């Protein structure tokens, strides 16, 4: 189970609030940060497309909760094998529970009822629930009306992905911090041939850093093309 993984694996070092590049999402960031550390802060439903930082924020919230002396668990519904209803019902005993991929259980009756019951239990216990999905509750095909109503009553944090120019600058800044120069030609090629999700780009930067050091070469388009061909 995800909840049994070591802290370093459950909450990778990069997925922290201080590493989230907010852009137009500063208000959403602060709402999630408050819910993570303050038991009386409103619960938050985070919605946004792939690459907008939903998972980053939920994992960051768990780590912030731990740092504030609270207990926390993270449950990614889309990645579960077996009964998702059983997994949801099995999450108990933490001050903060962050549930990712809510959209993946839409129309799944047992899982919807399990999430509804968990919602009510956490509310009664004075704990905190955080949710994330590709879309806001009103746009999800959740069949259970009471669950849809409860999710819709939460603070809605609607995330906007960073624009390409912002992602390019973030990547350039991270690279510069490692002593790597990414010129416009390299960035143009990279954004045309690689996933534009910021997390994926930063993971690639880790690989670039190791490969360029090992080869004692600066990062050029031929170097990058050859590296990605090998992966």
Domain parsing of the chain, residue ranges: 2-158, 164-230
pTM for the structure as a whole: 0.78
Q: What pLDDT sits at residue 1?
A: 37
Q: What pLDDT sits at residue 125?
A: 94
Q: What pLDDT sits at residue 10?
A: 52
What does the H/E/C string look like for the chain?
Answer: CHHHCCHHHHCCCCCCHHHCCCCCCHHHHHHHHHHHHCCCCCCEEEECCCCCCHHHHHHHHHHHHHHCCCCEEEEEHHHCCCCHHHHHHCCCCCCEEEEECHHHHCCCHHHHHHHHHHHHHHHHHCCEEEEEECCCHHHCCCCCHHHHHHHHCCEEEECCCCCHHHHHHHHHHHHHHCCCCCCHHHHHHHHHHCCCCHHHHHHHHHHHHHHHHHHCCCCCHHHHHHHHHHC
Q: What is the pLDDT of residues 41-89, one digit of tens each?
A: 999 999 998 878 888 899 999 999 999 999 999 999 997 877 999 999 9
Q: What pLDDT sits at residue 2?
A: 40
Residue 89's contacts (CB-CB under 8 Å, 6 or more residues apart) are: 114, 117, 118
3 has a pLDDT exceeding 50:
no
Q: What pLDDT sits at residue 87?
A: 93
Instruction: Spell out the long-range contacts of 119-123 with Cβ–Cβ below 8 A and sequence spacing 24 or more.
Output: 119/147, 119/150, 119/151, 121/92, 122/97
CATH 3.40.50.720 fits 2-158, yes or no: no
- Compute the CA torsion angle 145, 147, 152, 153 (nearest 10 deg): 110
Q: What is the pLDDT of residues 127-161, one digit of tens each?
A: 999 999 999 999 999 999 999 999 999 999 999 87
Q: Which residue has the higher pLDDT, 36 or 8?
A: 36
Q: What pLDDT sits at residue 7?
A: 41
CATH 1.10.8 fits 164-230, yes or no: yes
12 has a pLDDT exceeding 80:
no
Q: What is the pLDDT of residues 78-104, one digit of tens each?
A: 978 779 999 999 987 899 999 999 999
Beta bridge partners of 132: 46
pLDDT confidence of 165, banded at 50, 70, 90?
Answer: confident
Q: Which of 105-119, 150-164, 214-228 has the highest mean pLDDT?
A: 105-119
Q: What pLDDT sits at residue 205?
A: 84
Summary mean pLDDT of the chain? 87
């Amino acid at each position: 189970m995800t909840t049994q993984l070591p802290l370093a694996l459950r909450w990778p070092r990069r997925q922290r609030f201080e590493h989230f590049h907010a852009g137009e999402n500063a208000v959403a960031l602060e709402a999630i940060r408050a819910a993570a550390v303050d038991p009386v802060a409103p619960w938050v439903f985070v919605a946004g497309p792939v690459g907008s930082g939903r998972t980053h924020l939920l994992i960051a919230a768990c780590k912030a909760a731990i740092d504030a002396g609270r207990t926390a668990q993270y449950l990614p519904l889309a990645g579960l094998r077996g009964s998702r209803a059983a997994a949801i019902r099995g999450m108990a005993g933490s001050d903060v529970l962050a549930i990712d991929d809510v959209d993946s259980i839409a129309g799944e009756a047992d899982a919807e009822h399990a999430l509804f019951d968990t919602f009510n239990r956490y509310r009664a216990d004075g704990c905190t629930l955080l949710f994330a999905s590709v879309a806001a509750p009103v746009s999800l095909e959740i069949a259970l009306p009471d669950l849809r109503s409860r999710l819709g009553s939460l603070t809605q944090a609607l995330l906007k992905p960073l624009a390409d120019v912002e992602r390019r600058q973030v990547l350039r800044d991270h690279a510069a911090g490692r002593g790597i120069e990414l010129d416009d030609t390299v960035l143009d090629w990279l954004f045309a041939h690689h996933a534009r999700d910021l997390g994926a780009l930063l993971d690639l930067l880790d690989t670039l850093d190791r490969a360029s050091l090992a080869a004692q070469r600066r990062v050029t388009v031929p170097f990058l093309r050859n590296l990605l061909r090998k992966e």
